[in-house]
Amino acid sequence: MNIFITGSNGFIGKRLSEVALKENFQCTLSMRNHSGDSLNNDNLSYVYRTIASNTDWSGAFSSIDCVIHTAALVHQMNGADNNHYQDINTYGTLNLAQQAAGSGVKRFIFISTIKVNGEHTAADLPFKPNDSYVPCDPYGLSKYEAEVGLRKIAKDTGIEVVIIRPPLVYGPGVKGNFASMMRWLSKALPLPLGAIHNKRSLVALDNLVDLIVTCVNHPNAANETFLVSDDEDVSTSELLSKLGEALGGSSRLLPIPEALLEFFAKLLGKHAVAQRLLGSLQVDITKTKEQLNWAPPFSVDESLKKTAQYYLEHQ
């Protein structure tokens, strides 16, 4: 099986590339430049292109069976406007898929985002793959529009499209807000988050990669949309407590009432930050488990330990 991975030096793509090679896939890794081409394997080759609406992918898909598109302009990147997101995440994706289909690629796996479902859920009312919602923020909207376009390409060309929508992905080398949490906890800083009773779905990097690999040639994955998680929802307080323990210490969590935290967050103009910390976001992966006969191979606790160990070794 010959696979083509975009964003292969990114957080998801790098780990996916390592696992795919261990599984004896013939891999072509796509990246912007030579800075990430450190893997050395007989089953490996490289392509150097950027993801954009006008990228010429001629010759890139020779003998490729499946394209796995992990590259994206993510919402944490500062300075991006609507046009940037759309050019890379929407038109860049559709250009890639259209040329892959024209080259005879059989399957296209798109790593989307749970933001296509929405930003938050009521407790115990998780998102499902067929929920109808149009995102408001530029990142989520660009992924939604890519999904719509990919389904049309699949219908017009016959290429099989698989869409995977992960929530927050964590694992060794994670950056952003998750890395900030580890910094706070490792410094034993007191955090006013000890009385949060929300429920949030997360997905460990290795669990997400395992699902992606499953979708490469599973017959029941063709032209389907899947949600993914660790299948073990946690509150913000539980997550911080578990992560603090994984880091070798104890978290100093102050039991400040949620209502008071929400009040001060609004007062400071930090409503979006408060929503991520205090609100719920759950996903229902029943379809994923049943249709693919799949279950997350790694628990939250062991995945947090891997993440914390990597952080402690590289800080």
Among all residues, which ones are annotated catalytic?
139
- Could you tell me the CA-to-CA distances from 72 to 77, 114, 290 in Å, in that order? 11, 14, 29
State phi, psi for 229 to the nearest 5 degrees. -160, 180
Alpha helices (runs of H) in the chain, residue ranges in sequence order: 11-22, 82-85, 93-102, 138-157, 176-186, 205-217, 236-246, 258-267, 271-278, 286-292, 300-314
Q: Which residues, 6 or more positions from 50, have their beta carbon under 8 angstroms from its beta carbon? A: 32
Other beta carbons within 10 Å of 273:
12
Cβ proximity of 237 and 253 under 8 Å: yes
- Could you tell me the CA-to-CA distances from 261 to 26, 190, 193 in Å, in that order? 51, 15, 9
d(CA 141, CA 164): 15
Cβ proximity of 5 and 66 under 8 Å: no
State phi, psi for 243 to the nearest 5 degrees. -70, -40
Cβ proximity of 293 and 313 under 8 Å: no
